[in-house]
A = this chain, B = another copy of it.
């Protein structure tokens, strides 16, 4: 059989597009995909659990990890830091396990610079109107934060060119099906595995 390295799936897009929801449902249905848990200095929202949704860190601790080069990426968004611990991800990929990351756009860009073979997926809202409704409906942000996020949304959508795939998140099941197809298609990409394929058949000659 072909030995295949795992895929690093980087899911990003404007806040409120629903990337969290579709990642969660994808993971519910596919237990072989591993979720990378990010670290952040922002405060937990209602129901969020440390080590599950995020590692919630104090700013000092976060800064130490930056200094030690322990992040695959990190970014400051508004007043908080977000970062992706490196070691566990690299190990999983080498072992053939797929890893998924749900991440803000600044972070996605940094990851693309250092790991371009990742699969970069942009989650879009069905419309800007719908995006606004979702952010307001979440009820976790102040009015000022909502305004800030929404005014960034179109500018963010313009950055879609940095991504490999888009998913228009109209309903969760369709979006998850699209993610699953993207993953399976990437596992059938010639560019990723052609050396393994040619080597396998050469052995038989």
CA distance A205 to B128 in the complex (A): 8
CA distance A164 to B190 in the complex (A): 6
Main secondary structure of the interface of A (DSSP, over half): helix
Residues of A in contact with B, size category = 35 or more
As for how many copies of this chain the complex holds, the number is 2
Given A177-B184, A182-B188, A190-B165, the answer on whether A124 and B205 have CB atoms closer than 8 Å is no
Is residue A67 within 8 Å, beta carbon to beta carbon, of the partner chain?
no
- Taking a contact as CB atoms under 8 Å apart, the answer to whether A197 and B165 are in contact is no
8 Å CB interface, A109-163 against B: 122, 124, 127-129, 154, 157-158, 160-161, 163
- Taking a contact as CB atoms under 8 Å apart, the answer to whether A161 and B190 are in contact is yes
Is residue A80 within 8 Å, beta carbon to beta carbon, of the partner chain?
no
